[in-house]
Structure 1
Amino acid sequence: MAKQVINFNKFNEYIINKYGQTLYEYFFKGYTEKFLKISSNSVHANWAKTGIERSIIDKKIKGNSLFELIKSILMPIPIKTKFIYPNQLGFGYFSDRLAAYIKKKGEILTSTLIKKIGYDQSTVYLNNKNFQYKNLIWSGNLLDLIELLDEKKLNLNYLSTIFYNCIIKDNIKRNDQWIYYADKQLNIVRTSIEKNFASYLTPQNYTSIVVEKTCNYKDDIWNNPDKLKDIICQELIQVKLIDSINQIAKIYIEPIRDTYPIYHLDYERNLMELSSIINNKYHNIKLLGRTGTFWYNNCDHSIAQALNMAKHF
């Protein structure tokens, strides 16, 4: 008799089926609701599927059940995956090199507001024909694209993030790259210790701890990120990353819009409708990247997407 396959549509159903009620209650539920700002009952199961898949670097490691998860922790398999990382100037060096190459054959326009997109079968027009192109590759917010094309608005939402780059006057003796905090009493969602990605990223005897706080675009936190600075400092002590506020030399704040797509229960239908509009009416407009394809992916996936699209053209 064939085993019945159950397709769970909700995040909570999917996680409980795979890992059990206890792990769901103690970690997945709290962290997901804190991160996304919505009830886990309103989150699509694909958020769990893509999140777990992207967190497992070596695909020989399995995480399809609680047993496999515990086995991977207690009997870890050495990860043989190698990463390409710049030996100078950090991850942004990739973008800088690409920009330099583009400028040799074209141009990069910054601080240029797109007010309208026009279209015919052979040309894409921006801002009433001020700019004309054969193809438009869109990697931005899909709701902005739909509005610029004067199409009907769809229910697709994004999350934004405030990054607090805390410069610490000390060598923090932690080997972690990322640390996740499910405690809803903490404002800190995740921290990253930059020198553990590449040792040259911080000067000797200093440590950079980047604190992430998710929010909605133009909400109170987005509009007033400074109000959390003192709280962030206290929480860094609370989670034992630093011993004293006096260790913090400076905090740089950077808000980044549309950092994550939100997979609510009805997102698939809305995304399919939007994709149908673009594919059927706007053949010269292509979607790319995490924001442009509404795909909760990693940067290496986006780079692979871009390389494949370049081959297409």
Structure 2
Amino acid sequence: MKSVWFSALPFDKTLVTLALESGVDAIVTDAAHADDVRALGRVEVLTPEDVIYVTLNSKADEDTAIAALKSGGKSVLKLGWEIIPVENILAQSEGLGVEVASADQARLAAGILERGVDVVVVLPEAATELKKIVADVKLSQGCARLAKAVVTAIKPAGLGHRVCVDTMSMFKKGQGMLIGNSSAFTFLVHAETESNPYVAARPFRVNAGAVHAYAIMPGDKTNYLEELSSGDEVLVVGADGATSLATIGRVKVEVRPMLQITARCGDAEGTVFLQNAETIRLTRPGGEPVSVVSLKEGDEILCSTDQAGRHFGMRICEEIKEG
């Protein structure tokens, strides 16, 4: 997980408050104001003495940053860094931070060598973009590969324990979670963003499916739905493939009537068990939610296909067949 720090040098209470409200991981300020920051919120407070700042002017400066990181220190490149030297440092070490003065610079730093720097240090001149920077750097998880799949079967599956994932975030139309009986074929289960005459919308919730199902998680991992709990971070996926993070506030497991839905994408076929109720929806290719009650064979929905093979949620190279 990448970190965002705010550089409160010089100290400015208004900007520090904004930084805390934006969700930064640490505040860098002078030692004289460290306790003032701690009084405003529970956050890591660093002083310039805790950080090794490096201005990149030569190859020797790259070596200085690398040595600091390998010795366990916190190394931050001063504003004015360029991509090639940063790539050289990233290739040889972990934990690098860079100063940024805009959201564009933050996005650039977070994507260098696809992996990106580990720490983005936002300077005061970028304070107006701080919330966007935090969202882009900390929440964005890249792009999920979604494809159209055709529904081939829908049938009652009796009673089962289903899992509602209630997050601390508000989903938008077109967003949900990737859920399936196999990690190699998951369905974009839409969040409960839509109202109907009988039930109000629950835009913080994904009624995700049966307890045994896989959920695609951040960091290219999976969890069984039954394993999820309060405080866990889950992967939010939009119909356009954009992903972000949400933190679980509560998980509800209850016995409900279930449907088994089967779909085909190319040569791949997958299934998912979802509650038999109008409020549970999959996602059409255009981002429109479609209720499982009105879903028909031949309908197109969004799914994600992948190589099979997971062990404790981690990707492995092994011949595995899941049905």
The structure that is strand-richer by fraction is 2
Considering only CA atoms, is the larger Rg found in Structure 1 or Structure 2? 2
Question: Does the alignment reach a TM-score above 0.5?
Answer: no
Higher relative contact order (CA 8 A, sep 6+): 1
TM range (shorter): under 0.3
